[in-house]
Amino acid sequence: MPTPKLYDNYPTEYTEIFRSAAKRPVRITLSTAHEADRFRARLYAFRNALLDEPQKAPEVALTISFAHLVIDGTDLIITHEDKRHGRPSLPESGRQFDPVDL
């Protein structure tokens, strides 16, 4: 079984992606659906690393468990759903996205 990475071993851009997604949906366009699936897996692993060390980015750690990562073709869409506040899990049609450059 592979050893999980520590939070400090991930790029700082991953923290920024989840910080942005807490405010509004983020759409990341990748070249193939397979690449989007692999990147989603890396972001889930990052989420677990942050939850293991929440003191590294406490403001993101508080909201990261509400993150939903959905693949739409070659796009990876990251949204937040907080059922306590009735926020949607998927972007509504016509909703604005924060672009992310990787």
Instruction: Provide the number of structural domains found in the chain.
Output: 1
Which of 82, 83, 79, 84 has the alpha carbon at shortest distance from 95? Answer: 79
6-15, 23-32, 47-56, 93-102, range with the lowest pLDDT: 93-102
Residue 90 has a pLDDT of 45
**16 belongs to a structural domain:** yes
Average pLDDT of the residues in 84-102: 53
**For residues 70 and 2, which has the higher predicted lDDT (pLDDT)?**
70
Instruction: Name the H helices within 1-102.
Output: 12-21, 33-52, 58-61
**The pLDDT of residue 3 is above 80:** no
**100 belongs to a structural domain:** no
What residues make up the domain containing 55? 11-84
Query: What's the CA gap between 77 and 56, in Å, rounded?
Result: 24
pLDDT digits (tens, 9 = 90+) for 40-86: 999 999 999 999 999 999 999 999 988 999 999 999 999 987 655 55
Query: What's the CA gap between 91 and 78, in Å, rounded?
Result: 9
Question: Residue 6's Cα: distance from chain center in Å?
Answer: 17
Whether the model clears a pTM of 0.85, i.e. scores above it, the answer is no
**DSSP secondary structure string, 19-30?**
HHHTTS-EEEE-
Cβ neighbours around 11 below 10 Å, total = 11
DSSP reduced 3-state for 86: coil
Residue 54 has a pLDDT of 95
Residue whose entry in the numeric block shows the structure tokens 């592979």:
2
